[in-house]
Amino acid sequence: MKQFHLRKTPPSSPIDYHIDYESALNQQQLSAVTSPAKRLLILAGAGTGKTKTLIYKVSRLIESGVPPEQIVLLTFTRRAAKEMMERATQLLDERCQYVQGGTFHSFCTQILRKYSNHIGYNNEFSIIDSADSIDLIQHVRSTLNIDHRSQRFPAKRSLAKLFTLHKNKQLDMRVLLQEYYPQFLVHEKDVIRLFKTYESYKAKHHIMDFDDLLFNTEKLFIEYPAILERVSSTCQYVLVDEFQDTNKIQASLCEYFSSFHQNLTVVGDDAQSIYAFRGSDYENILRFPEEHANTELIKLEENYRSSPEILEVANAVLKQSSILFKKKLFTNRESSDLPALIKAIDDKEEAEFISQLVLHLREHQITLGEVAVLFRNARDSFTLELALQSKDIPFKKFGGQKFTEAAHIKDVLAHIRILSNPNDTVAWQRVLMLIEGVGPKTAEDLFLWIQEVQSKQGGASTTDSTHWFSDSEWMNKNYYNGLNRLGSCLINASKCTPWHDSVPLIVDYYLPICKDLYDDASKREEDLASLLQITKTYQDIQSFLTDLVLEPITDTVTDTLASREEEAPLTLSTIHSAKGLEWKHVLIMQCLDGSIPSTFSIDNEESLDEELRLLYVATTRAKEMLYFTYPRTSFRQREGDYLTKASRFLDPITANLEPWELIHDTHDPNLNEGNKPPLLE
């Protein structure tokens, strides 16, 4: 017998990393980045560098030769996703742009656009946002003739909420009714019937709502293992930020995505779980190690973001929770002033203080971009926005749907949606009812008639139906003229190439209607002009509509004006949209009982805890200085002026705060600044 000696090959030459991981990261962070573990959980408090670690891990993988398009980086909010991509690109280079992912919803959409034909959808299915979903529920309800006379039936919003909870929490409708709307338990049967009809309606019309994007992806994976294998084989590494905010289905999607290569890293902080209303469950992250025995757990404890004074307040906030959080954060950052507590006399004074403080900070080298004002409800900043506008302080607001929610934008979008999908009932309904004299019933009849005409033409597209409404049964109606104008507008619009040339036609058609409907038409006209600009950046109608639902425009006209100036604007944001971000100075405004905690949470310990975590998230956004403000009086239409109540969460932390007194200065506003007392003493 011959012998063949296999030589020992030298170990592959060590990779020449461009990034100095060892000096940028601490011990635990480094071990998370370099860990060979296939399943890794990083469980750590706010500001301990979780996101940073994740970004370094992505860079490290790319530097070690993993193709970026084989890495999937998922997170929860669009802002966090964008922020993460930017930070990664800045750290390494353009290669990071090819990393897959974004939000769960956008990633699932990409998969479904390729494969949803397997589960009975067109790959061109429409996606509806929550407002559309509410409208659709209403529409479906009107077809069911549900008896609401004897006993009040849940409003469309409540129904929508029930339906998402039902899908996301996978709880029985009865249980949900019991917990959230016991007064509607009598309607259980009808609610379920409506839910089923809503579901089948969407399926039949190739419409998906946000929940469907997740559910249908899972369904696809369950029913078609071959597709699962194909998709997951392109996901060599799956990394998930903010894992505490995932719900059951998102957690299970993570397992599916990583099922082929089995590399799954998740990052999160159970103390920052603030999306229970959407069915998220922080138990997901705590259970994560139990799902697989070989999970490596890494904890980070040093906070690199906030001063000790801020961290002290944050810890004191969290201590009020009925659930015990064992972690205690520490920091080596230098001391700052004590966080401030400002009690304004009313909303106006609060807004005035914030805008003057922001200007004062700008004089002292804290730019607007380094300051954020956070609040519980999107509308809490209304008075402040007016004050900022009057002082020409540029700001950008996050949270609240505003632009795409606005009626006039939705109106124009509905026309565009018809061009994209002539079967879109909700869009037709909306468009038809804009015509004077057309109500729900006529709109429904018209829609059925249009569908019939279309099917008679053997599925020919809208382009051929040049004489839609003439010679028809509608000739003699008083709304015939309006109908005809709509008809020719849509026909001309559908012939446009490129597609976005159709938008000016639609806007021209719509403007008279808009002027008739709203007093502030000129402001709305400007919005439509900016919508027009946006449409020009899209090659096709489909991607435009998808993007608009998944990434609704947050810029309003004021923002656009602001962005013309070079200076980075002040940030106004709901706390929910601020998660994962940080600023030098953070103001939390409207710290009132009824706002935070919200009125709807106060008699339920679980939701009260979530409100508290929300305040914790807000406080931990600050690096150098933190301010709590609230008005002592406020105004409501019915009651008039009334005394407010400070947030109950502030009481136990007042010892850690420094009260600031607001003094109205009586000097002539035109007096030289040097002759007045300093703003802050």
Taking the C-alpha atoms of residue 622 and residue 368, their distance in angstroms, rounded to an integer, is 14
Interface with DNA (CB under 7 A): 76-79, 103-106, 129-130, 138, 148-149, 152-153, 155-158, 161, 183, 210, 275-278, 376-379, 398-401, 433, 436-443, 550, 574, 576-577, 598-601, 607, 610-611, 637-638
Instruction: Please give the residues from 301 up to 320 whose contact with ligand ATP meets the rule CB under 6 A.
Output: 304-305
Residue 53 Cβ vs ligand ATP, minimum distance, rounded to whole Å: 7
279 binds ligand ATP (CB under 6 A): no
Complex with DNA: residue 183 or 463, whichever CB lies closer: 183
Complex with DNA: residue 63 or 188, whichever CB lies closer: 188
**Residue 168 binds which of ligand ATP, DNA, none (CB < 5-8 A, kind-dependent):** none
595 binds ligand ATP (CB under 6 A): no
What angle do helix axes 248-257 and 210-223 make, rounded to 10 degrees?
Answer: 40
50 binds ligand ATP (CB under 6 A): yes
| Region of 25-33, 160-168, 639-647, 667-675 interacting with ligand ATP (CB under 6 A) | 25-33
212 binds ligand ATP (CB under 6 A): no
Residue 242 Cβ vs ligand ATP, minimum distance, rounded to whole Å: 8
Answer positive or negative: Cα dihedral of 362, 365, 369, 372: negative
Here's the x/- map for ligand ATP, 362-401, by CB under 6 A: it reads as ----------------------------------------
Here's the x/- map for ligand ATP, 616-645, by CB under 6 A: it reads as ----x-------------------------
Complex with ligand ATP: residue 57 or 169, whichever CB lies closer: 57
Task: List CB contacts of 410: < 8 A, sequence separation 6 or more.
Answer: 131, 404, 430
- 3-state DSSP assignment of residue 39: strand
**Residue 637 binds which of DNA, ligand ATP, none (CB < 5-8 A, kind-dependent):** DNA
- 3-state DSSP assignment of residue 536: coil
Long-range contacts of residues 475-478, Cβ cutoff 8 Å, at least 24 apart:
477/437, 478/437
DSSP string, 381-419: GHHHHHHHHHTT--EEEESS-HHHHSHHHHHHHHHHHHH
Taking the C-alpha atoms of residue 628 and residue 658, their distance in angstroms, rounded to an integer, is 10
The Cβ of residue 211 has, within 10 Å, a number of other Cβ atoms equal to 22
Token pair of 228, please?
């699962």
Residue 570 Cβ vs ligand ATP, minimum distance, rounded to whole Å: 19
Taking the C-alpha atoms of residue 559 and residue 525, their distance in angstroms, rounded to an integer, is 16
**Residue 17 binds which of ligand ATP, DNA, none (CB < 5-8 A, kind-dependent):** none
| Terminal Cα distance for the chain, rounded | 95
Residue 213, φ and ψ in degrees, nearest 5: -60, -40
Residue 620 Cβ vs DNA, minimum distance, rounded to whole Å: 17
**Residue 601 binds which of ligand ATP, DNA, none (CB < 5-8 A, kind-dependent):** DNA
560 binds ligand ATP (CB under 6 A): no
**Residue 628 binds which of ligand ATP, DNA, none (CB < 5-8 A, kind-dependent):** none
Dihedral through CA 581, CA 585, CA 590, CA 593, nearest 10?
70
- 3-state DSSP assignment of residue 153: coil
Residue with the two structure tokens 């990394």: 239
Residue 55 Cβ vs ligand ATP, minimum distance, rounded to whole Å: 8
Complex with ligand ATP: residue 51 or 383, whichever CB lies closer: 51
Taking the C-alpha atoms of residue 485 and residue 503, their distance in angstroms, rounded to an integer, is 15
Among residues 135, 209, 269, 281, the one that binds ligand ATP under rule CB under 6 A:
269
Question: Under the rule (CB under 6 A), what is the footprint of ligand ATP?
Answer: 25-26, 29, 44, 46-52, 269, 272, 304-305, 580, 582, 620
